Chains A and B, each alone.
Chain A
Amino acid sequence: MPAEDNEFFDTVGDLLVGMGSTHEELRRKGPVTLEIDGETVTVDRLKPAFAVNLASVYSAVATIYDAAQKRFANQQNPIPVLCHQENLRPAAVCRACLVEYTAVGRSGKETTMLVPSCYLPVTDGAKIKTQATSEKVRNITRTIVELLLSDFTPPSEKNCVPSENDLSVVAEMLGAKADRFPRTAPVVPTDLSSPIIAVDRNACILCDRCIRACNDMRDNQIIGRMGKGAKSQIAFDLNSPMGKSDCVTCGECMVNCPTGALSRRGAGIAIVLNGQPTADADATRRKVHAAELKDKTKTKNWQMFDDIADQFLELNFGSVIRRKVRRGEVLCQEGEYGATAFLIESGKYEICIRKPQKLEQQRSSLFGLTGKFLSHFTSVGQSPGIARPHYISVDAGIALNLAKPPAAANPVLTADDRLFGEMACMNHSPRSATVIAQEDGEVLEVLRNVVYMMQRNRTSRKILDDAYRDRALANFLRQMPFFNADIAETLREIDDKLKKEADRLPPRMKQIMGEIAQRLKKHAADVTPAQRQQFADQIAARLKDSAALVRAYPDSPIVRQGQKADHFYMVRMGFVKIWQKRAGGEIVLNYVGPGQYFGEIGLMSDLPELSDFTPAGVRVASANAVDHVDLVRVSGEHFKQIIADYPGIRDQFLWVALRHLSENVKIASALHEMPLGEFLDQGLIGGHKLLVLDLEKCTRCDECTRACADTHGGVSRLLREGLRFDKYLVASACRSCMDPYCLVGCPVGSIYRAPHGQIEIKDWCIGCGQCSKNCPYGNITMHPLDKQAEVRGSGMRATTCDLCGNKDKVEPACVFACPHDAAHRMNGLDLLASIRQGKQIE
């Protein structure tokens, strides 16, 4: 079964407007089949839709237009659209997408009507006729387009660089004539108050796309519709000229404008990517224009840029650079952070892993420690800790087996592999390998803002998703603890439990645990470690195509207690809270972190070993995402098939499940005494460099704040206030989080994680305030720019603690300046350990 196209979580139980059903209900109903121009097409009822800044994905109802997009995937879609845009919620105001819709109504009679295809949800058995087959539809839509054309004046090239005009394209498609209706709209002057964007309302067809883009997509809340009827216009704030409004010139409105009413004036954002690329054709680092990127003859990876608006690429000119690479040149360094991805144009690139341990220290340090930590005080982590991985995931298309360290024959990437480095760029994780050019070649280095755009569009998203799936999933699966658990260790645990809790455990449970121990003993004797490794490879191969990578967003429910158990989940990133509703209220049972899993009990409840202890087929507890969580989801059927085929693994699962069921109450009480919950809620556990002040030593002399201000042009980037835990104060300063939310959705890619882990904001920041809004801890502040020569956008810029460059072995100024040794930089786990042990920080 190929993995579904649409994998994301919604707020469970929310009703979809107009559908009278929840997302889950719709998803459960399965796909629908409908007929478009006589050809059948089957589509899912839901499609992914992006919330503000692509910060989250939710599901929207798939519409007739979406079905047509699928049906005519590689051809021209016969449905013309003007006001519709793939990533915006439908407005259905232009009416160009009208189709004839025939379906059986509530009364049981078949009715035909004209409907906006961008808005109407797909229904099973509906018959659709587009303008290609219905004369009526063609006549009506043509008249509508003629109405628009009659009042339309294309933007003047004197003022701006207009992009392709969708209205002309649609007019040509429908054979619409511009002069059929007399012009009735007055001519209004072009608004040239913004240095970046020209606003020509004579070319505006009031499609509402810029409004939705500005408010829904970017949450800038600047553009609205003003006036009524024929006097309606788009307006900025209280109808200010664009340049005088609070517009931040992120360009989103312009990118979404179908007619060029909002067009680029020529100026762009001065993006300087890794050194000083020039526009010189012979330079080794050269900024690339949109035209070249989309030219099949000049760019091998043109498909990745095909759906990105020229206006965007030009506004962000410099976000894509063409690099001529010499033999032996290092493109990215293992362990470092990076904000770019590389598209291979030509050449061969070798992947090397030099210091395997470094990887564990970096990205995996969090789950390593947490895994230990959890098991330490509950005695039952969801999994028996993380065993040392036999494989590590590589930020490239190849899995490296560490058991055989890479020697002479390192894997090599060529243009067929398309790209590398995209995972570090998308997940904000460090590079997991070093990539070295084996011969002279060419790559396109692409900044994160462009990679976001690639994620938005159907074609390029699929390429990125496939790469992600191939590279991340297989490696991750092989790391999972149930493949690597030490059987002897498990046996000891069982033995221990049976001895210690002999009085407490129900006899039936004791008996089953005993049986499991017997079976595991036999298994250990029969199966060699090499064979077990083989099993792991087999299972990983089996799951690779069926397992789905899904994301859950802070607080969103993943499973609900009492619901049917249908999937098994493994956590790749982030934390999941497992909780139960009980008579006395809600009880948190556990926090599940990276490398751990949940959801297996409900799927195994029909096994005789568990059937006495848990209700059949339903969830015994709920799971909610604590922060941004990446999960690997395996369907219940596949999970059941695997535990049926591999009894050794089944017994491991059974033991863990039984242990949970026997100890749920105990866990709950143990967790309650710990500040872990609060720690997680405040995101401290994900903090990498918390500024912690020991209040017993701190004399409130404020040297730290002064030192910070002195280092950063007079403005302090820390605030000596914040959360208090015990005698520690976590001051408000950038924590360099493991999973920095602030990075998400920066329209110009100016905020990124520097190679040494600190968050830096580059000079081309347009001051849109997105990162500041994103930071849940208020650690990014917006400052007005001094009156500079070129004041662009909001006239503001964002600043945050950059750890004073985080040079090796050099403490940031705040820590260095503290005369009392009260200020420290540490990660969340160390702080928690200090609090728990009540000891001084060293």
Chain B
Amino acid sequence: MINQELMRIQHEQGYLSEAALNELSERINVPLHRLHEVASFFPHFRLEPSKATVHVAVCRDMTCHLRGSPACRQTLDDFAKAIPNQKVHVEGVSCLGRCDQPVAVSINEKVFVGESVGRLQTIIQRMLAGEAIEPPASNRSSRGWKIDPYDGQRPYEMVRKFVRMHIEYQGWFESRKTQFAAPAAATGPLDDALLADIARVEGCPEAAIAHYVRRSKEERKREREFLRTRPWLIPAEWVLYELGVSDLRGMGGAAFPAGEKWKSVRRSKTKDRGQSMPSDYIPDNPQAHPGAPPPIKYVVCNGDESEPGTFKDRELLLCYPHLVLEGMILAGLTTGARQGYIYIRHEYTEQIAVVRQAIEEARTICAELFAREAAENLTFKLADVYVSPGGYICGEQNALLAAMHDFRAEPRNKPPSVSDEGLYGQPTVLNNVETFGWVPAILNRGGQWYAEQGVNRGKGLRLFSISGDLQRPGVYEVPVGITLGELLKLAGGMADGKELGSVALSGPSGGFTPRFVKLKSTLPRLSKQLVELGICRGDPDHFDLLDLPLEFDLLKRQIMLGAAIVFYGDQANILEQSLNCIEFFANETCGKCVPCRVGTQKLRHLVGEAVKGRPLDQQLIADLNVAMVEGSICGLGQVAPGSIISILNHYPTSLPQSPQAD
């Protein structure tokens, strides 16, 4: 409500005037400080009128930085200063998610990519003259990825199958009602009957039955109790089973098993909060207000892809929006959630339009499917796209929810978990775009199929956004466990005849790893594992990073592996690149907790000094790292020192040396 109103005012007036905020405060009965704390938090909102008619924002992060954005920004800034009356304003902006086509420049909120500075100047001039220029439309044609099981055929088949199973199950249940009704007698024999009948339900593999039987007596008893009142839930067993077998992980970065998350939401009960007192999480309990959101479970798709180097969701939303929506609908049907939101960063304007269209289509199909009498217990509503007011922190799940609750996008303390108390304090499935996107394929071809796609002990397939000094940066669908070398080969190798120097395996968060790693001395545990598995055959202190399999569990807590991999040529100044990563976090910290708010600023200062040649107090950095890792509320503060720590570990010689007192 507040966010939408602020966006509307800004759209109409160009900025949020005091008068408009006063009027809004009166009208929606919200105190001024509440409006102001939100309006001043998101960089998207302007509280002052701007003289400029053309606003230019040059991406300043990672790949764009590596590929020349500082020079681009400087040139454009000089160019703008030459234009009278400050009609053009140039500033830096955090990653726009176009790392495959650097440099990304947003001009009046239209993102232009890979344009020469000369061309950008032309665009600015034409816009100044009042011309409306749209960047060329992105290519929406199918990428031929395995994530799409339909390949142009009728989508939403898995939702249809779910509904069919449900109807069949209900028929079966009706005929068995009396048996269920006698819980005392319904012990051993009922299980057999139940199993035999499940087997007859379409598409339920033998293995699913085995999975069902493996549960303890107590668990089965509870399950029966549960099913007795919710007969429509049995197809959910199928979904959870397939997800379990597939070992589908959360693709947002944490790699938490998706099936487990869904299971826990399914178990969670909705919370009737009544008039209970506010909390840290929902300081202004939304349910205590008239017109409060209903106490139902929710599905939220996190499309706030803002980490530098990451742009896979951008492609997925553009080319396969229906897969993501289908995944969300299936999550809803499986967990009993009734409503789904897809949260997309506001810079993805094309994607927002495409998804909106897909939502319309999905709604029609769902309405038809759920309208059937026998499917009356099934319902799931897709809400309109929630356009993010912006900021990397919104990708943090709790901050994302806070933004949706109309608060500053600040993460919260644990407990509670999102599965338990997420959107509006209700159990919520919150997954990344890609995680939802894989669900239709997994259900269509089977969890087993998906799991078998992996290589080198990895399971499944995934998308990587790769960028940097590359021939063909972009999004690649690859088997989990693929080696870094193979991935580099897919991207056509290094560009401009550069040699691979370093790799950032998780955007700005995981630090840099050199091509040849001193594994044994810097990562002893990983070294031991890699030697045991026969992956590292030579000298563990001269390990070629290209042999590293990109698999979740192997690298767990040793090297961070994200969805964004940035390749750096051997000429790159890694210390300076590290400062760039730190500046990103220093710009994007929400400011809620002390270690992150103050820590990132100190890091920026200290590493900045080091780049200028001043020796770095390594003990101070180490202490700060521990305080930020252990003390920060959310992941942002925990990973912020990652890049400088990787310098201390892998590139000690790149640091300025203190003058030795011989």
Contact = CB atoms under 8 A, between A and B. Distances in A.
A140 interface: yes
B273 A229 contact: no
Contacts of B391: 228
Question: For B420, B590, B593, B630, which residue has the most chain A Cβ atoms within 10 angstroms?
Answer: B630
Given A180-B620, A206-B597, A227-B591, A140 B18 contact: no
24 contacts: A11-B275, A14-B274, A16-B276, A16-B279, A17-B273, A18-B420, A20-B271, A114-B631, A119-B280, A144-B631, A148-B594, A182-B602, A182-B606, A222-B31, A222-B33, A229-B587, A229-B590, A230-B586, A230-B589, A230-B601, A232-B591, A235-B40, A237-B32, A239-B40
Contacts of B274: 11, 13-14
Interface string B27-45: 0000111111100111100
A224 B41 CA distance: 11
Q: Which 5 A-B pairs have the closest CB atoms?
A: A224-B33, A14-B276, A232-B591, A221-B31, A17-B279
Interface of B: 18, 21-22, 31-37, 40-43, 271-283, 391, 408, 413-416, 420-421, 425, 586-595, 597-602, 604-606, 620, 623-624, 626-627, 630-633
A17 B413 contact: no
Contacts of A58: 277
A822 interface: no
Contacts of B271: 15, 20
Contacts of A224: 31, 33-34, 36-37
Question: For B272, B595, B627, which residue has the most chain A Cβ atoms within 10 angstroms?
Answer: B627
Interface stretch (A90-98, A504-512, A602-610, A754-762): A90-98
A20 B413 CA distance: 16
Nearest to A95: B631
B599 A147 contact: yes
A324 B594 CA distance: 50
Interface of A: 10-11, 13-20, 49, 51, 58, 60, 89-96, 98, 114, 116, 119, 121, 136, 139-140, 143-144, 147-148, 150-151, 180-182, 184-185, 205-206, 215-216, 221-232, 235-239, 246
Nearest to B275: A11
B199 to A, nearest CB: 32
A327 to B, nearest CB: 51
A14 B597 contact: no
B600 A148 contact: no
B633 A18 contact: no
Question: For A18, A226, A246, which residue has the most chain B Cβ atoms within 10 angstroms?
Answer: A18
A205 B594 contact: yes
A747 B645 CA distance: 51
A224 B627 CA distance: 27
A215 B30 CA distance: 12
Nearest to A12: B274
B591 A60 contact: no
Given A136-B626, A228-B591, A238-B36, 19 more contacts: A14-B276, A16-B279, A19-B415, A89-B278, A89-B279, A92-B413, A92-B633, A98-B631, A119-B280, A140-B630, A144-B627, A148-B598, A223-B33, A226-B40, A228-B43, A228-B590, A229-B587, A229-B590, A238-B21
Contacts of B605: 182, 184
A246 B275 CA distance: 28
Nearest to A555: B275
Contact of B586 (A15, A95, A229, A238): A229
Contacts of B34: 221, 224
Contacts of B588: 229
A16 B37 CA distance: 26
A116 B620 CA distance: 23
B272 A229 contact: no
B606 to A, nearest CB: 7
A449 B599 CA distance: 41
A93 B33 contact: no
B187 to A, nearest CB: 27
Contacts of A228: 40-43, 391, 408, 589-591
A533 B278 CA distance: 49
B594 A98 contact: no
A26 to B, nearest CB: 13
Question: For A58, A184, A215, which residue has the most chain B Cβ atoms within 10 angstroms?
Answer: A184
Contacts of A148: 594, 598
A95 B626 CA distance: 13
A17 B591 contact: no
A111 B258 CA distance: 23
Contacts of A91: 280
Given A143-B626, A225-B37, A150 B591 contact: no
Contacts of A185: 601
Question: For A185, A224, A246, which residue has the most chain B Cβ atoms within 10 angstroms?
Answer: A224
A216 B278 contact: yes
B593 A20 contact: no
B36 A17 contact: no
B626 A51 contact: no
A147 B602 contact: yes
Contacts of A147: 594-595, 598-599, 602, 624, 627
Contacts of B593: 92-95
A93 B592 contact: yes
Contact of B32 (A49, A181, A232, A238): A238
A11 B288 CA distance: 12
A230 B602 CA distance: 10
A230 B597 contact: yes
Nearest to B593: A93
Contacts of B278: 89, 216
B602 A235 contact: no
B218 to A, nearest CB: 15
Contacts of B22: 238
Contacts of B597: 206, 229-230, 232
B277 A51 contact: yes
Contacts of B280: 17, 89-92, 119
Nearest to B42: A228
A53 to B, nearest CB: 14
Nearest to B43: A228
A18 B594 contact: no
Contact of A227 (B40, B272, B627): B40
B583 to A, nearest CB: 11
Contacts of A226: 36-37, 40-41
A98 B630 contact: yes
Nearest to A556: B275
A119 B413 contact: yes
Nearest to A226: B40
A121 B279 CA distance: 13
A235 B36 contact: yes
B563 to A, nearest CB: 24
Contacts of B623: 139, 143
B425 to A, nearest CB: 7
Contacts of A140: 626-627, 630-631
A225 B591 CA distance: 10
